[in-house]
Amino acid sequence: MSEVNMEQEKAPAYDRKDVDDIPQHDVEAGETKDAPLQRHLQSRHMQMIAIGGAIGAGLFVSTGESLNTGGPGALLICYLIVGVMLLQTMWALGELAVMYPVNGAYFNYALRFLDPSWAFAMGWDYAINWLVILPFEITAAGITIQYWRQDLNIGIWIAVFLSVLSVIQIFGVRGYGEVEFILSIIKVTALVGWIILAIVIDCGGAPVGGYIGGRYWHNPGAFTDFRGFCSVFTTAAFAFGGTEMSGLAAAESANPAKSLPKACRQVFWRIMIFYVLGTLMVGLIVPHNAPYLLKASGSNTSYSPFVVSIQNAGISGLPSVMNAVITISVISVANSATFGSTRTIQAMAAEGMAPKFFSYIDKAGRPIWCVLLQIAFGFLAFINEASTGSQIFTWLLALSGISNFFVWGTICLVHIRFRAAWKHNGRSTDELAYVAPWGIYGSYLGLSLNILCLVAEFYVSVAPKNAEAFFENYLAAPIVILLYVGWKTYSESTSNPTVEKRGWKLWRSLEEIDVFSGIRDTALDVDLEPRVKYDSWVDWLKALPMTLLRSII
């Protein structure tokens, strides 16, 4: 019963006799037809990228906005729904990335298993998402410094953090990996400490406030209204954004078949501990009608519920420590933003879907022109110096608002199409080095939840019956449609022989899908962990406690 395999026995080497005539690329050695990648990311890097790489202002600050608009009940339920959705997405991505550890993962998977036009739309949607998030995170880092020094212009700190980020890029993927490893350890340690402290505060162990318990769930209440509930989905997606980065990093991992499954398993604990348990504690010790939550949005970290809750408890010193952690977190996400956009744009340029010069990678494995483009977008953070800066920033962030739902839904759909094509070619899941625990059923669940979140956010966007409010919330959707239709139209009208013409077909047929090019080298499987195959759901459930325990080691 392969669809319930949390672990399977060691996968046999592929039967390559029918693949030998297909041009292959040694992806495990870091060579693709477009990019001489440097495989410097070790297992420890991949695991910390998966656990803490994306924890930033989305969790620490925007959680306050979600609490205010939806209430603690909505906060917990919506983060749990998005967490389940993302867990299925990561399992599907893990299976794909282990099988095909290629540069520009999501873009290349959509190109291979779905449709070039959708790949073009998703690639640029993902790249734009990170291009505009970088100035937001740098601004957030500057505002955290104003917690201590309000007399200094934020432009000073924007320049400092942008310079630090530029220096990190000099060291290529090794610099990205080491910075994420160190900063993620700090973030994870601080979050665990805050959760323990929040439990103490809730139980009445703080100098001020006394016993709280579940008081705030009753007064002012667990929920606000249905529109407030639905609005939390977008904030949750922003908070979870970047979790998929470990899949993108597979192309620069020393051994993705060994490190990626571990990283995917770590995502479960990150979701349950940091997001679900973390938001539960926020809702317990902070009332959703607290006035300062109205200011806990965008990059205004001074009103983070993680910081203010400690202040309200009468604990001195720790608010500054927590604010410092938020500073570290947003720098970490800014670092991830640079990695995410540059690798995606480079992969698109290699396929002729971005200006060709962006495909260049230097001898150190750096997509140098893509890095310069991302740093140039970082200068948009100085817009905050203008009187209309906040409004401009609102529209910039609107470009990324719901883009994560499109990307995550695409990953799930790609996995479904991959499994169908793999079976169509007479292949079995027993040949896969890593199998998504819930198989295509998990991907169908993930895809359905992504669609549900898009519908919920559409309802939130049209409810005010205001065109400006709609586009501020839902701008990413028409942008994706425009990109998709634009490439379809261009590909059908161009005389360029390198551009694939497919008409207006929705996706590739199973006969068109190539499941063999760029396939991973099974020769490296000698040191993979042995796996157990379960014959039924009953056997899998019996072994589940031990499996979960093993996943955190």
In this prediction, residue 334 carries a pLDDT of: 84
Q: Which positions ≥6 away from 12 have C-beta within 8 Å?
A: 430, 431, 522
pLDDT per residue as tens digits for the range 187-235:
888 899 999 999 999 999 888 888 999 999 999 989 998 999 998 998 8
pLDDT at residue 104 greater than cutoff 80: no
The CATH homologous superfamily to which domain 2-551 belongs is Amino acid/polyamine transporter I (1.20.1740.10)
Identify the residue with better confidence: 36 or 381: 381
pLDDT at residue 19 greater than cutoff 60: no
In this prediction, residue 295 carries a pLDDT of: 67
Sign of the Cα pseudo-torsion (83, 8, 110, 30, in order): positive
Mean pLDDT confidence for 20-34: 41
Query: How confident is the prediction for the chain on average, in pLDDT?
Result: 81
In this prediction, residue 194 carries a pLDDT of: 93
Q: What secondary structure does DSSP assign to 96-165, as a single string? A: HHHH---SSHHHHHHHHHT-HHHHHHHHHHHHHHHHHHHHHHHHHHHHHHTTT-TTS-HHHHHHHHHHHH
Top-ranked range on mean pLDDT: pick from 96-105, 130-139, 380-389: 130-139
Identify the residue with better confidence: 365 or 93: 93
pLDDT at residue 17 greater than cutoff 70: no
Sign of the Cα pseudo-torsion (284, 288, 289, 295, in order): positive
pLDDT per residue as tens digits for the range 273-322:
888 899 999 999 999 998 888 765 555 666 788 888 898 888 888 888 88
Contact between 361 and 368 under an 8 Å Cβ cutoff? The reply is yes
pLDDT at residue 76 greater than cutoff 90: yes
pLDDT at residue 424 greater than cutoff 70: yes
Top-ranked range on mean pLDDT: pick from 169-183, 332-346, 380-394: 332-346
Domain locations in the chain as residue ranges: 2-551
pLDDT at residue 102 greater than cutoff 70: yes
Rounded to the nearest 10°, the torsion over CA 437, 440, 445, 451 is 140
Locate tokens 């109205």: which residue?
A: 294
pLDDT per residue as tens digits for the range 38-59:
565 666 766 677 666 678 777 8
Mean pLDDT confidence for 418-426: 93
pLDDT at residue 485 greater than cutoff 90: yes
